[in-house]
């Protein structure tokens, strides 16, 4: 993404056509209006955040109603402030600085809160709350017991190697979550678009993309995806071959796709949980600290303290008293909660929280670092005016925490904190095992992160009508991800909303971008730490120069456009894939040799999902070798995915 011109010149056209009325107290200047807005907005936002926290950490009809009331109250305030603020932005802007105009522009951007019909707006908020409630309460019952997503179903998808059981759980979760939301989502799209068009956008997707303050966001994202696609293609092919050896070729479609239920994750978005099945060198240890975390008695709180210690070593502050007192770090007993991890800025100087149903394992340890990155971002820009108290780019917060987690997860650092055997051998084969583990987390995610909002942007534009919601979702997943459904899907199914971010109306392209940017941040940090050697071995723990580089970017918040912010750390003004490809280059070289010409998949989904191979149900991993030669198809060149 190239450096854009100053943000106001790019996006001011969005505000053209707003109804500008007399605003502000008599004789009030734009500067005085901003001061008044700041004082009133902080109170309104804090009240709204408290209601949202209650609704998600204690799911009930009462809290849902309170959340809707608080949201409506905040929307009314935003509408009033927009009317007053646009007067100063367009008619009384004399004497105002660029930065004051940028704050006024932020006040004028109110999203779906532009809807002045209180009934429609209230219904919109209610729909989102209802979809979240369905998601939180969904459970799959089988073999005499019922399991919720976290930790029950997530753990089953992670640990089971029973093809049929995984298929049943995969289908059951979608029946109990997404399928129940389809009509609600259809209404949500209609109401959201109606509201956003009052704000001079074509549809909700165009408003989401405008947050990046650059032109042609869709084209730039496709270009980035095209650059990392070769690495994903080879990872996919290698993993497919290993899984065929475990489950039998009969359990895989001839199109080259991998059935979605066999990848260790409810959405096949990361594959780290099948590392034991795809480990390149069986005689070398695979870096997984889950057992060691449990052996040493780690608790969710200790996992967060481990992350706090790493950030502190770089010169960041420790967490506040309120963080430890008010965060929800484990799933509570006796009430329903939305377990999806989230970080919260309550718009008070010392109230920052995380909500997460943490499980003691390596995967959640990485999530802890990611969410702590959000909190440190909040703490760094907390002294900025309210309009600047958000990330310069929506992808930055996750990328900050993930880039620091890349350093934490190096074998050298894990040894230093006692989470990895001192005898762990670091040679070329061990390095490939390590990079495979990281790729199963980072690279496997890229197409899912890319396609989720490709689907939603199409829905918001009207290109994908409700009767084709599910069909188009799977067309994208088969085409870009090489993943096919576990069982046959129909028009009544609604698999997109089986993913929390769709049910909760959270933009998703930020996660694709963050998976690219984190390596850019990581490389810049390693250069500040004067690291030598392969990038993937860099540990910058206790390097204050690294912390200073991060803080110079984070403290800006939204004051500067994101290319300026990213340059503070990296010296570059755009998002690049160079660091990501450098990190994984040894693995890519290995995969190319292993795969030869057998990689890729057909663009279209298979007509029928293959059944599980009954002979392999509950086959112990140690006996897989007995069946490797059975049902192995002759290798063939797959059709390569072509982006258009």
Q: How many whole angstroms separate alpha carbon 271 and alpha carbon 281?
A: 17
Contact indicator for 584, 231 with CB cutoff of 8 Å: yes
Contact indicator for 402, 365 with CB cutoff of 8 Å: no
Q: DSSP secondary structure string, 202-250?
A: SSHHHHHHHTT-SS-HHHHHHHHHHHHHHHHHHHHHHHHHHHHHHH-GG
Residue in this structure with the two tokens 């006024």, named with its chain if needed: 104
Q: Is 6 annotated as a binding residue?
A: no
Q: Is 370 annotated as a binding residue?
A: no
Contact indicator for 617, 553 with CB cutoff of 8 Å: no
**Which residue, 467, 466, 473, is CA-closest to 495?**
473
Q: How many whole angstroms separate alpha carbon 206 and alpha carbon 211?
A: 9
**Helix, strand, coil content of the chain in percent (nearest 5):** 60, 5, 35
Q: How many whole angstroms separate alpha carbon 350 and alpha carbon 352?
A: 6
Half-sphere exposure of 248 (CA within 13 A, CB side): 21
Q: Is 424 annotated as a binding residue?
A: no
pTM listed for this prediction: 0.89
Q: How many whole angstroms separate alpha carbon 515 and alpha carbon 525?
A: 16
27: left (phi over 0), alpha (psi -120 to 50) or beta: left
Q: What is the pLDDT of residue 26?
A: 63
CA angle in degrees (0–180, nearest 5) for 332-336-337: 75
The dihedral of CA 610, 616, 620, 625: what is its sign? negative
205-212 contacts at long range (C-beta below 8 A, 24 or more positions apart): 205/453, 205/456, 205/457, 205/460, 205/461, 206/460, 207/111, 208/453, 208/457, 208/507, 208/509, 209/457, 210/11, 210/14, 211/394, 211/507, 212/1, 212/393, 212/394, 212/562
| Token representation of residue 87 | 């007067």
Q: What is the pLDDT of residue 641?
A: 35
Contact indicator for 304, 373 with CB cutoff of 8 Å: no
Q: 148 vs 60, 176, 177, 475, 545, CA distance in Å? A: 17, 10, 11, 28, 44
| Token representation of residue 90 | 């367009």
Contact indicator for 55, 130 with CB cutoff of 8 Å: no
Longest dimension (CA), the chain: 86
| Token representation of residue 229 | 């696609």
Q: 437 vs 279, 287, 416, 426, 440, CA distance in Å? A: 8, 7, 20, 15, 5
Mean pLDDT, consecutive 10-residue stretches, the chain (644 aa), reads 38 37 65 93 95 94 94 94 90 84 92 93 94 93 89 93 95 96 96 93 94 91 96 97 95 96 96 95 88 94 96 96 96 91 92 96 92 96 94 94 94 91 84 95 97 97 96 97 96 95 94 97 97 96 97 96 96 96 97 92 94 58 29 31 31
Q: Can you give the length of the chain in residues?
A: 644
Q: DSSP secondary structure string, 66-108?
A: HHHHHHHHHHHHHHHHHHHHHHHHHTS-TT--HHHHHHHHHHH
H/E run at residue 546? helix 544-554
Pairing of strands 483-484, 258-259: parallel
Q: Three-class SS of residue 141?
A: strand
Distant-in-sequence, close-in-space partners of 625: CB < 8 Å, separation ≥ 6: none
DSSP state of 482: -
Q: What is the pLDDT of residue 18?
A: 38
Q: 277 vs 262, 451, 633, CA distance in Å? A: 11, 26, 19
Distant-in-sequence, close-in-space partners of 325: CB < 8 Å, separation ≥ 6: none
């Amino acid at each position: 993404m190239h450096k854009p011109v100053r943000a106001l010149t790019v996006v001011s056209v969005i505000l053209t056509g707003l109804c500008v009325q007399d605003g502000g107290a008599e004789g009030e200047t734009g500067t005085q209006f901003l001061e008044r807005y700041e004082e009133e907005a902080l109170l309104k936002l804090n009240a709204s955040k408290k209601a949202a926290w209650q609704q998600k950490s204690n799911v009930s009809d009462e809290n849902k109603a309170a959340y809707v009331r608080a949201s409506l109250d905040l929307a009314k305030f935003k509408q009033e402030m927009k009317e007053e603020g646009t007067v100063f932005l367009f008619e009384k802007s004399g004497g105002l600085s660029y930065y004051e105009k940028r704050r006024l522009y932020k006040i004028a951007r109110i999203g779906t809160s532009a809807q002045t019909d209180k009934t429609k707006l209230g219904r919109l908020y209610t729909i989102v709350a209802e979809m979240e409630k369905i998601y939180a309460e969904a459970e799959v019952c089988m073999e005499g017991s019922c399991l919720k997503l976290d930790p029950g179903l997530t753990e089953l998808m992670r640990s089971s190697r029973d093809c049929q059981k995984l298929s049943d759980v995969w289908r059951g979760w979608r029946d109990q979550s997404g399928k129940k939301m389809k009509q609600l989502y259809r209404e949500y799209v209609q109401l959201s678009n109606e509201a956003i068009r009052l704000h001079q956008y074509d549809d909700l997707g165009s408003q989401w993309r405008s947050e990046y303050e650059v032109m042609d966001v869709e084209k730039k994202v496709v270009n980035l995806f095209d650059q990392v696609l070769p690495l994903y293609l080879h990872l996919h092919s290698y993993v497919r071959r290993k899984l065929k050896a475990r489950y039998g070729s009969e359990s895989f479609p001839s199109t080259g796709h991998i059935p979605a239920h066999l990848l260790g994750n409810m959405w096949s978005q990361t594959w780290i949980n099948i590392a034991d099945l795809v480990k390149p060198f069986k005689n070398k240890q695979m870096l997984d600290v889950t057992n060691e975390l449990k052996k040493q008695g780690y608790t969710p709180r200790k996992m967060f303290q481990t992350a706090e210690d790493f950030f502190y070593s770089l010169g960041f502050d420790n967490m506040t008293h309120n963080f430890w007192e008010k965060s929800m770090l484990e799933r509570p007993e006796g009430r329903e909660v939305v377990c999806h991890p989230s970080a919260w800025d309550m718009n008070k100087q010392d109230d920052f929280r995380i909500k997460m149903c943490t499980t003691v394992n390596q995967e959640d340890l990485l999530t802890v670092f990611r969410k702590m990155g959000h909190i440190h971002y909040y703490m760094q820009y907390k002294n900025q005016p309210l309009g600047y108290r958000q990330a310069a780019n929506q992808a930055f917060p996750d990328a900050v925490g993930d880039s620091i987690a890349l350093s934490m997860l190096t074998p050298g650092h894990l040894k230093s904190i006692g989470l990895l055997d001192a005898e762990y051998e670091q040679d070329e084969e061990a390095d490939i095992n390590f990079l495979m583990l990281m790729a199963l987390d980072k690279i496997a995610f890229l197409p899912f992160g890319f396609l989720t909002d490709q689907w939603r942007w199409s829905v918001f534009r009207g290109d994908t009508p409700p009767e084709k919601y599910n069909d188009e979702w799977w067309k994208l997943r088969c085409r870009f991800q090489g993943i096919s459904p576990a069982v046959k899907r129909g028009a009544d199914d609604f698999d997109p909303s089986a993913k929390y971010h769709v049910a909760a109306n959270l933009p998703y392209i930020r996660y694709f971008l963050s998976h690219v940017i984190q390596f850019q941040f990581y490389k810049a940090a390693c250069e500040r730490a004067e690291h030598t050697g392969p990038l993937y071995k860099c540990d910058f723990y206790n390097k204050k120069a690294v912390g200073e580089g991060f803080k110079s970017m984070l403290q800006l918040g939204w004051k500067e456009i994101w290319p300026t912010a990213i340059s503070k750390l990296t010296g570059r003004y755009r998002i690049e894939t160079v660091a990501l490809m450098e990190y994984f280059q040894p693995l890519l070289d290995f995969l190319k040799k292993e795969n030869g010409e057998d990689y890729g998949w057909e663009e279209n989904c298979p007509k029928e999902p293959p059944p599980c191979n009954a002979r392999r149900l509950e086959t112990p991993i140690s006996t897989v070798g007995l069946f490797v030669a059975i049902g192995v198809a002759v290798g063939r060149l797959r059709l390569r995915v072509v982006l258009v």
